[in-house]
Chain A
Amino acid sequence: MNMAFADIDPILFDYAQRYLGRFMPISREELIELLQYCEIRKFDKRTVIVHEGEVDNYLNLVVKGLIRKYLPVRKNEVILQLATEGHVVQSEISFLTRKPSMVVLETLEPTILLSLTYDKMEEALDKFPKGERLGRMILYGMFIKKDENRYNRLSKSTRQRFFDYIDHHPHMLQRVPQKYLASYLQIKPETFSRLKALLSKRQK
Chain B
Amino acid sequence: MLEYVRQFINQHIELTEEEFQKLASKLQLVSFDKKTRLVEIGEVSTIFYFVLKGISRRYFYRGKQEVITHLIKEGGMMGSVISFITGEPSRYILETIEPVTAYALSKQDLDELFLSNKKWEKFGRKIITPFFLQVEYQILNNIRYSTKERFVNFMKQNPELVMRVPQKYLASYLEIQPETFSRLKHLMVKEK
Contact = CB atoms under 8 A, between A and B. Distances in A.
B32 interface: no
A151 to B, nearest CB: 6
12 contacts: A92-B132, A92-B136, A97-B133, A125-B122, A131-B118, A132-B121, A133-B114, A142-B132, A143-B81, A147-B82, A154-B69, A155-B67
Interface size class of B (residues with CB under 8 A): 20 to 34
Contact of A154 (B67, B121, B128): B67
A67 B121 CA distance: 30
A197 interface: no
B60 A133 contact: no
From DSSP, what is the main secondary structure of chain A's interface residues? helix
Given A92-B136, A102-B144, A139-B132, A144 B122 contact: no
Interface of A: 71, 73, 78, 80, 92-93, 96-97, 102-103, 125, 131-133, 135-136, 139-140, 142-144, 146-148, 150-151, 153-155
Given A146-B136, A147-B135, A155-B62, A139 B121 contact: no
Contacts of A132: 118-119, 121-122, 125
A102 B114 CA distance: 34
Contacts of B86: 144
A71 B137 CA distance: 12
Nearest to A92: B136
A133 B121 CA distance: 6
